[in-house]
Amino acid sequence: MSYSEFELIRRCFVDEGLGFDRDGVVLGIGDDAAIVQPPNGMAIALSLDTLVEGVHFLKHAPARLLARRALAVNLSDIAAMGAEPLCFTLGLTLPESDDGWVAEFAAGLLESARQFNCPLIGGDTTRGPLAITIQVHGMGRAESFLRRSSARAGDLVCVTGTLGDAATALLLLGCESHLGPQFAFTSRPNKTQEQALLARYYTPEPRTDFAQQAREQINACIDLSDGLLGDLAHILEASCVSAQLDLEALPYSKTLMAVLCAEQRERAALGGGDDYELCFTVAPESLAGVQDIARALALAVTPIGVIAEGSGLTLSRAGEAIELASNAYRHF
């Protein structure tokens, strides 16, 4: 059955509970605009991303997983600011009114929205090529938000989790990688390894809890969406500093270690993108405290380099400087 726009919204988004109650949201779905009122002294951080079929995801991608990914990539931006997720709006462009697809999509959104206590408060649906636009609202004290511009000489460069899995998952999906045709599996993954890689692509874990708890000790931060080299370069430019990275310190999952050789793992970690981990800088004396916070959340934090005065990025392996071309994802 095909429903009208408002009936589709009511059945798939309102009736399914996506507009659940949350402190700070005064009025959600159902009026001309939503109303949010964070606690006194709190400011709002906003982030918006658009995912387009054929550009950011494959045609016939599973609706439930696509929804979880769409919300997660926005929440990762909120994590990079050290903000607490508050709510989100959704712009959904559909080629046709497919209530089955929308119901699956809404179910995936609800799973992630509940996980991060971040209800849907409004949005829009329209007809056209499939595209998903989500804007997430986060909150926190304005002076405590993390920024890209606060790295200091002597800071350690750190990352959460492991790198390269999501970019490698694209090989399973038959996508043409921006890492080039030479980027390929060294060993074909088994079923368990395939599932692990695809989970990292479709259901990344925004590090919101970690960032909120560690933000007082972190100096500068960014989420890793376009690849480590490209994203770290944004911190260096904004902070007017340079960095030295130790390629041997890059953290990899056991799955990636099993299916890619050292050279290919390095390519995936440095330029693959889609990790949605955090890259941040921290004073050396604060590292132990940050790692304690991460450990309590069953999360690894790995120092991979150091911030220095000057400009640019130096890479080293076994103590020797090397040059690599950046294959960071480019939107244009």
CATH of the domain at 133: 3.30.1330.10
Dist. CA 3–CA 9, nearest whole Å = 9
Question: Hey, is 50 helix, strand or coil?
Answer: strand
Question: Hey, is 184 helix, strand or coil?
Answer: coil
Q: Are residues 57 and 179 in the same domain?
A: no
Q: Are residues 102 and 215 in the same domain?
A: no
Residue 328 domain-assigned (yes or no): no
Tokens of 207: 């590090």
pLDDT of residue 125: 87
Q: Are residues 41 and 90 in the same domain?
A: yes
Closest by alpha carbon to 228, among 110, 289, 315? 315
Q: Are residues 187 and 315 in the same domain?
A: yes
Q: Are residues 83 and 173 in the same domain?
A: no
pTM of the predicted protein model: 0.92
pLDDT of residue 45: 96
Select from 91, 116, 144 the last residue of a domain. 144
Q: Are residues 293 and 197 in the same domain?
A: yes
Residue 205 domain-assigned (yes or no): yes
Q: Are residues 72 and 173 in the same domain?
A: no
Residue 204 domain-assigned (yes or no): yes
- Backbone Cα Rg of the chain: 20
Angstrom distances, CA of residue 240 to CA of 139, 148, 174, 309: 27, 10, 39, 8
A 10 A CB-CB count for 309 gives 10
pLDDT of residue 175: 74
Q: Are residues 191 and 270 in the same domain?
A: yes
pLDDT of residue 99: 83
Residue 330 domain-assigned (yes or no): no
Instruction: Give the distance from CA 263 to its chain's centroid.
Output: 24
Q: Are residues 162 and 120 in the same domain?
A: no
Q: H/E element holding 295?
A: helix 287-296
A 10 A CB-CB count for 238 gives 15
Q: Are 1 and 91 in contact (CB under 8 A)?
A: no
- Residue 171's CATH number: 3.90.650.10
Q: Are residues 222 and 104 in the same domain?
A: no
Residue 149 domain-assigned (yes or no): no
What's the domain range around 49? Answer: 5-144
pLDDT of residue 3: 57
Q: Are residues 188 and 137 in the same domain?
A: no
Q: State pLDDT tens for residues 162-175.
A: 999 999 999 998 87
Q: Are residues 130 and 165 in the same domain?
A: no
pLDDT of residue 331: 44
Quote the number of domains for the chain. 2
Please list the ranges in the chain whose pLDDT falls under 50. 329, 331-332
